[in-house]
Amino acid sequence: MKKKSSKIYELPLSFYLTRKYVVFCFKRFYSEFIVVGRENIPTEGPVIYAPNHINALMDAVAVHAVVSPKLPLIFLARADIFRNKSIARFLRFTKIMPAFRMRDGMENLNKNNEIFDQCVEILDHRKALGIMPEGNQGEQRKLRPLVKGIFRIAFTAQQQFGENEGVKIVPVGIDLGDYVKFGKHIIINIGKPIEVSEYMNLYAENQVTATNEIRNRLRNDLNNLSLNLAIDSYYDCFEIVVEVANEAVLNELKLPNKTVYRFIARQKIAERLVKMEKNEPLNMEKLQALSFNYQNALQQNKLKTVLFDNNKYSYNWSDGLTLIWTFPIFVLGFVLNFLPFFIPEFIRKDILKVKDIGFFSSLHFGLGMLTFPIFYILQTLVFSWISSVAWWWLLLFLLSQYTLGKGALRWYKTFTKLRASIRFNKLKRKKPAKMAEMIALRKEIIEMISR
């Protein structure tokens, strides 16, 4: 008798435990894991989570990290990553289904009908979907046009509920401190659910108009939840100015100097830049020239703009003394974590040879979930072999490797800040004219944004 295949929206114990482990590791990949709007997360389906798409698989894991672990969440991903059968089986286990695009060949587009039917079935069973409404990934901090597939699925699934509340689309804005490096912040902004039922009367009259209206609403919500540097010609300028003026606008808005409020200040700067580009083209050209001159000066002197924020990295002798006496801890933590940390990078660069920046952190994270526990266990076995200590010492050694690694990372961050501060103060003494030039450029940029 042929075994009945399981439904992708079922929640086996193996997946439940795997997701627990992945989310546990994910939260430790970032120095700050910040969730805003938890009260907007539905307790049950049918719901479609719609995050902005900036960092490959990390965006999907970010949504998994905030929804209820008891609620199956099925994501759609680009079909080309399913070509290998082994990878395809693994992706199905992780509850990811393929979505076909024009680049996958016209002959494959019809396969989307079957996928969309499965999506509707998932919502019919009051489960959750995750769909990237932009349809593709971008490496720039801005929203791209939203594709219509998410709305087609939402309206089709809502038909069984009619005008009653049913399918919800939950906008999710994701902001990363860095697209590649680990140990930075992640902000997950959960927006208020969009009730698809509110658009069903209009959908019955004109499907195109209803789709456009709900698409505009979702786009507006995502714009408010993410950092949208909505321009092509001046994008590099925007990125520079957002960092230069961040603290000034934070003070202007009278907000505390915390990561989530710095994000709000960056949003405000982006909004002003978009208006300037639209209404003041001459000022925009002037701002671009100023920002590039400032950036070039920073690069020539190996400085970062954060050093100018109230001299944040001020030189402190106590920091230097602390680094000296904690140096042995750094060495031990570095030695115990060197291989599991750098092997994923070696695999990415020299074996897989991945060039797409958007996949760097996903690969490092995914491979690191394997390398760290494997090496921690192997190093514990080696320690057992050479020391012959009691079992509880082995357990303590096994658990301490991660803590020592975190300590080594904290030591290195303190060291780089201190080194940057020394270089900054040395430049002020030896090249006051160069420093005055950078301060003047910075001041002019901030004045153009703050006026």
Q: Which of 20, 18, 53, 36 is nearest to 362 (CA)?
A: 53
Average pLDDT over residues 141-147: 91
DSSP state letters, 180-192: S-SSSEEEEEEPP
Res 293: pLDDT:
96
Res 106: pLDDT:
60
What would the pLDDT profile of 312-367 be if each residue is shown by its tens digit?
556 667 778 899 999 999 999 999 999 999 999 999 998 988 888 888 898 999 99
Res 114: pLDDT:
86
Res 421: pLDDT:
86
Q: Are 204 and 246 in contact (CB under 8 A)?
A: no
Task: Record the tokens describing residue 435, joined without a space.
Answer: 């420093």
Q: Can you tell me whether residue 84 is helix, strand or coil? A: coil
Q: Are 288 and 237 in contact (CB under 8 A)?
A: yes
Res 20: pLDDT:
93
What would the pLDDT profile of 120-130 be if each residue is shown by its tens digit?
999 999 999 99
Average pLDDT over residues 17-46: 93
Residues ≥6 apart with Cβ < 8 Å to 356: 56
Give the span between the Cα atoms of 382 and 370, in whole angstroms.
Answer: 19
Q: Which of 39-53, 132-146, 311-325, 349-363 ranks highest by mean pLDDT?
A: 39-53
Q: Are 249 and 296 in contact (CB under 8 A)?
A: no
Query: Residue 386: how many CB atoms within 10 A of its CB?
Result: 8
Q: Which of 189, 286, 196, 177 is nearest to 234 (CA)?
A: 286
Q: H or E element: which one contains 243?
A: helix 235-244
In the chain, what are the helix, strand and coil shares in percent, each to the nearest 5? 65, 10, 25
What would the pLDDT profile of 22-34 be if each residue is shown by its tens digit?
999 999 999 999 9
pLDDT surpassing 70 at residue 200: yes
Distances (CA, A) of 83 to 87, 100, 109, 318: 8, 12, 15, 56
What predicted TM-score, i.e. pTM, was given to this entire model? Answer: 0.91
Res 92: pLDDT:
85
Q: Domain 13-225 - what CATH class?
A: alpha beta
Give the span between the Cα atoms of 344 and 430, in whole angstroms.
Answer: 42
Q: H or E element: which one contains 22?
A: helix 13-29
Average pLDDT over residues 419-448: 91
Res 327: pLDDT:
96
- Give the helix ranges, DSSP H, for 125-167: 149-158
Res 379: pLDDT:
96
User: In DSSP terms, which residues pair with 176 in a beta bridge?
Assistant: 186
What residue has token string 């001459």?
282
What would the pLDDT profile of 58-68 be if each residue is shown by its tens digit?
999 999 999 98
What would the pLDDT profile of 90-102 be if each residue is shown by its tens digit?
888 888 888 876 6
Res 152: pLDDT:
93
Task: Record the tokens describing residue 220, joined without a space.
Answer: 């507006």
DSSP state letters, 259-327: HHHHHHHHHHHHHHHHHHHHH-HHHHHHHHHHHHHHHHHHHHTT--GGGGSTTSS---HHHHHHHHHTH
pLDDT surpassing 90 at residue 7: no
Res 411: pLDDT:
94
Banded model confidence at residue 2, pLDDT cuts 50, 70, 90: very low
What would the pLDDT profile of 267-318 be if each residue is shown by its tens digit?
999 999 999 999 999 999 999 999 999 999 999 988 888 888 865 556 667 7
Tell me the domain boundaries of the chain.
Answer: 13-225, 235-301, 317-430
